[in-house]
A and B are shown apart, each in its own frame.
Chain A
Amino acid sequence: MSQPTQALRHHHKHCDDLFAEAEALANAGDWTACETANAKFLGEIEAHFATEEQVLFPAFAAATGMSGGPVSVMLMEHAQMRDLMGQMTAALKARDGNGYGGAADTLLILMQQHNMKEENILYPMCDSSLAATAIDIGGALGERLEGACPR
């Protein structure tokens, strides 16, 4: 069976790596390198959220008639994570290591729980309801990554 969400699953792992890189640089006090790594992480995760919010979730809602429930929980968690990423960026500007590390600690747990819920529950639901369609999530993610992080 085709898995429209495959690209998003892989991209979760990639975002984890970018997170770990930015967090380690902040922890080491290498703020200049952290600025680049943080921007890269935020750009990629924003592209990921946008793909879900603009393409995957609406397609899922159209296919199943479900717009509340799991999708609304995911959207609420996106908002929580955006708040925390905003705190990380503010702490980065202020060169506040504790502030950055604390927001990153929190974001990591939220992000991992969020990814687990998507990968174990929501994505399988999406895959089964969208398998017969011609939806190209990987392509949509690629376009948004190009926009967020021009090479």
Chain B
Amino acid sequence: MHPNLSFEQAPPISVPYRFFVTAPWFGAAAGLLLAWLGPDALVSRWAPGALAVTHLLVVGFMLQAMCGALLQFAPVAAGGNVWRPRLLANAVHPLLATAALVLAAAFVSSFGPLFIAAASIFAVAIAAYVVVVGLALRRTPAQGATLMALRLAVVGLAVTATLGITLATGLGNGRSLPLIEITLVHAAWGLGGWALMLVMGVSYFVVPMFQLTPPYPLRLAKALPLALVLVLGLWSWQLTGSAAPWQTAVLLAGMLLAAVYAATTLVLQARRRRKVADPTLYFFRGAMTCLLLIAAFGLWFAVDAEAGADPRAAVWIGVLAIPGVFVSAISGMLYKIIPFLNWLHLQRLGGPGVMPPNIREMIPARTMTGQMWLHFAAVAGLLLAVLQPLLTRPAGLLFAASCAWLGVNLAGGVRTYLRFRDRMLASAATSAS
């Protein structure tokens, strides 16, 4: 059998796009909820409001965008042909969106049945997604560090969801569970084993491609995902009920791995042969800088026991990780993916010789750059709000505004696609008649 060289297995454009256009609005909702909750919201990661905001972001924004992106990326970059992608998206997209809202409502209201409902919806959506995408990645004849990271990311998603469903069910039933330990392991798998693993796998592929950088060193590219899984496995030891004294060392090892990945990416980007910069590059640099800051503050909080014991320490790391690393990286990727996919699909529609519109007409560079600066200002605002709770409301509003602007920009890109598609179809119909 000859390896597949075509893009024919790429899913219909509506498959990833539905996830991309809805994701930013969950970020906007998270910002508004933060503003509504006010100064108490960011004082501790365990505050119900903080948990609601967190899950609007990690499920509503991150998980949605990443699930959509992986449906596009797995076949194109790793030869993983997804079975019936449209059917899968039809099922998973509304379920994830609903689950994010129900879970946030459960945290805000502390109403048990809502936790059970959220857990049930997640179980169906994630099980379907993990089985179908996992099989696609299992069966591909391709090889390499990207594929390895993508496969591990899907495992990470399964572990995260299993623990999350356990937690939500426990909260819903009022059953006695070691909630803190399970939450610590759940969060580590979600942010490290799924989200960071996926970003790594994708960046191995796109960072050299978008900016003409040298490739990631192969040994490092393969070692990082494996080491990350090892660290997460050791971190999960606390689920046995005995919090071992070496857990802090495991946490630091995980942060060190993240720092090595971030530093490597920044060095490669500094050595890029392409001289022209774009918002995607700046978003990625912002994300990697936040990842380095996480490692630096993680080290500080481990060494300085007083600072580490402050409940705001974990919130600080959370702000750096979720809006800082992941919302930045995802925004940068979406600004690159949507214009290119628009072009690719329009090009196919037009056939040879018929050129689709210029890629720069899809989402104007000026609005992307403006939104990017607002986003970074919002991340800074959220960090300041951790230190000064009175700033929580303005920071929440700022973040809501930047996510809404992202949503408007992405929707504009999709509208441009539809407009040109209709025009091309109409002119094809005219010339045929």
Contact across chains for B209 and A69 when beta carbons are under 8 A apart: no
User: Does chain A have a CB within 8 A of B174?
Assistant: no
- Smallest Cβ-Cβ distance to A69: which chain B residue: B2
Contact across chains for A20 and B2 when beta carbons are under 8 A apart: no
B355 contacts across to A, CB distance below 8 A? 83, 87
User: Does chain A have a CB within 8 A of B245?
Assistant: no
A91 to B3, CA, bound (A): 37
A17 contacts across to B, CB distance below 8 A? 273
Give the shortest distance, in Å, between B338 (CB) and chain A (any CB).
13
A99 to B358, CA, bound (A): 7
Chain A: residues with Cβ within 8 Å of the partner, total of 33
User: Does chain B have a CB within 8 A of A74?
Assistant: yes
User: Does chain A have a CB within 8 A of B6?
Assistant: yes
Knowing A20-B274, A20-B275 are in contact, say whether A105-B2 is a contact too (CB < 8 A): no
A80 to B274, CA, bound (A): 21
Contact across chains for B212 and A98 when beta carbons are under 8 A apart: no
A83 to B353, CA, bound (A): 7
User: Does chain B have a CB within 8 A of A138?
Assistant: no
Q: Give a binary string over A17-45; 1 marks a CB under 8 Å from any B CB, 0 the rest.
A: 10110011001000000000000000000
Q: Give a binary string over A48-89; 1 marks a CB under 8 Å from any B CB, 0 the rest.
A: 000000000000000000100110011000011001000100
User: Does chain B have a CB within 8 A of A102?
Assistant: yes
Contact across chains for A101 and B209 when beta carbons are under 8 A apart: no
A39 to B199, CA, bound (A): 37
- Smallest Cβ-Cβ distance to A101: which chain B residue: B360
B9 contacts across to A, CB distance below 8 A? none
Q: Which of A107-115, A128-136, A139-147 lines the interface with chain B?
A: A107-115
B273 contacts across to A, CB distance below 8 A? 16-17, 20
A111 to B375, CA, bound (A): 31
User: Does chain A have a CB within 8 A of B217?
Assistant: no
A109 to B278, CA, bound (A): 14
**Contacts of B215-249 to chain A: CB distance below 8 A:** none
- Smallest Cβ-Cβ distance to A121: which chain B residue: B3
Knowing A73-B5, A79-B352, A121-B5 are in contact, say whether A23-B361 is a contact too (CB < 8 A): no
Give the shortest distance, in Å, between B351 (CB) and chain A (any CB).
11
B352 contacts across to A, CB distance below 8 A? 79
- Smallest Cβ-Cβ distance to A21: which chain B residue: B275
User: Does chain B have a CB within 8 A of A7?
Assistant: no
**Contacts of A94-127 to chain B: CB distance below 8 A:** 98-99, 101-106, 108-109, 112-113, 116-117, 121-122, 125
User: Does chain A have a CB within 8 A of B347?
Assistant: yes
Contact across chains for A112 and B209 when beta carbons are under 8 A apart: yes
A1 to B275, CA, bound (A): 37
A74 contacts across to B, CB distance below 8 A? 5
Contact across chains for B5 and A70 when beta carbons are under 8 A apart: yes
Give the shortest distance, in Å, between B197 (CB) and chain A (any CB).
21
Contact across chains for B212 and A20 when beta carbons are under 8 A apart: yes
Give the shortest distance, in Å, between A103 (CB) and chain B (any CB).
7
B5 contacts across to A, CB distance below 8 A? 69-70, 73-74, 117, 121-122
User: Does chain A have a CB within 8 A of B343?
Assistant: yes
A119 to B392, CA, bound (A): 51
**Contacts of B350-370 to chain A: CB distance below 8 A:** 352-353, 355, 358-361
- Smallest Cβ-Cβ distance to A98: which chain B residue: B360
Selected from B275, B353, B359, the residue in CB contact (under 8 A) with A23 is B275
**Contacts of B1-59 to chain A: CB distance below 8 A:** 2-3, 5-6
Contact across chains for A27 and B212 when beta carbons are under 8 A apart: no
B274 contacts across to A, CB distance below 8 A? 20, 23-24, 108
A106 to B357, CA, bound (A): 11
Contact across chains for A108 and B353 when beta carbons are under 8 A apart: no
Contact across chains for B275 and A103 when beta carbons are under 8 A apart: no
Contact across chains for B2 and A101 when beta carbons are under 8 A apart: no
In the A-B complex, the 6 residue pairs with the smallest Cβ-Cβ separation, listed nearest first, are A102-B360, A102-B358, A24-B275, A112-B209, A70-B5, A102-B359
Beyond the given A24-B276, A109-B210, please list 13 additional residue pairs across the A-B interface where CB-CB is below 8 A: A17-B273, A24-B274, A83-B355, A87-B358, A99-B360, A101-B360, A102-B360, A105-B339, A106-B359, A112-B208, A112-B212, A116-B209, A122-B5
10 contacts between A and B (CB under 8 A): A17-B273, A20-B275, A24-B276, A27-B275, A74-B5, A101-B360, A102-B359, A105-B359, A122-B5, A125-B2
